[in-house]
Amino acid sequence: MSITVLVVEDDEDVRETTRLVLERQGFTVRTAADGAEGYELALELQPDVAVVDIGMPRVDGLTLTRMLAGSGTCPVPLLTARDLPEDQVIGFEAGAFDFVTKPFDSRVLAARLRSLVRRTAPPAGPESLGPLEIDRAARRVTRQGEALTLSPTEYDLLMLFLENRGIVLSRATILREVWGDSSWSDEHIVDVNIQRLRRRVGPGVITTVRGAGYRADAA
């Protein structure tokens, strides 16, 4: 599934760097230099997600977020150099779904955007992941016509791999996206749960990438 991202950022260097790193991660990216241009482009494109800088001329990021949230156009993670609690409270009250602090790791940003789209997208028809067929609307996973029984954690793990097909996910990224915390000292919980998921779904779905993490093959 191709994900379209609108990047609204007045700093040209940050805007172009963000565009390039997201395109390398497989996203379709359009950009705007300020909030007014971003709002017009969002209404035209109907992107899956808009990454919005807070401080911009004409229409600032918080105002744009309110406009996009009010129109139901797309979810917005705010791009900011500050991550103070009071800034986040104001952003969430404006309708933001997440915060991305500069500077950011391109792989982490990509994973967070895919996770956000996964959480907010309307149910789609069945999708394939290797030998699996996944119906998100029914939360049903089958392999060769046989329904698989997954725990909530196993299902969340599978959805994360589905949205990141072909991309290596580190244990820290998986912890953050599935358990909401990447600061645990023992990442063994990831290995244990992935082994359980593998037993449920069978071979040909999740590959171990030595020294890096795990990947679901794109095919």
Per-residue pLDDT reduced to its tens digit, 185-210: 567 889 999 999 999 999 989 999 99
Residues 8 and 113 in one domain: yes
Per-residue pLDDT band at 43 (split at 50, 70, 90): very high
Residues 18 and 100 in one domain: yes
Predicted confidence at residue 218, as pLDDT, reads: 58
What is the CB neighbour count within 10 angstroms for residue 177? 22
Residues 114 and 131 in one domain: no
Q: How far is CA 148 from the centre of its chain?
A: 25
Residues 18 and 81 in one domain: yes
Element (H, E) at 68: helix 61-71
Of 56, 90, 120, which residue sits at a domain end?
120
> Residue 181: is its pLDDT beyond 70?
no
> Residue 166: is its pLDDT beyond 90?
no
Per the structure, the count of domains in the chain is 2
**Which tens digit of pLDDT belongs to each residue from 78-115?**
888 877 777 788 888 888 888 888 888 888 888 888 88
Residues 95 and 202 in one domain: no
Q: Is residue 166 helix, strand or coil?
A: coil
Residues 33 and 97 in one domain: yes
Predicted confidence at residue 123, as pLDDT, reads: 58
Look at the pTM and tell me if it is higher than 0.85: no
Find the mean pLDDT for residues 47-55: 92
| Single-letter residue type at 155 | Y
SS3 content of the chain, % helix, strand, coil (to 5): 45, 20, 35
Residues 53 and 116 in one domain: yes
Domain CATH code at residue 193: 1.10.10.10
Cα gap 69→197, rounded to integer Å: 36
Per-residue pLDDT band at 19 (split at 50, 70, 90): very high
Of 78, 103, 120, which residue sits at a domain end?
120
Structural domain harbouring 152: 127-216
Cα gap 200→100, rounded to integer Å: 34
Of 120, 149, 164, which residue sits at a domain end?
120
Residues 196 and 107 in one domain: no
Q: Which two tokens stand for residue 155?
A: 């299902």
Q: Looking at per-residue confidence, does 48 or 124 come out higher?
A: 48
Find the mean pLDDT for residues 171-191: 76
- Angle at 111 (CA atoms; ends 57, 218), nearest 5 degrees: 130
Domain CATH code at residue 75: 3.40.50.2300
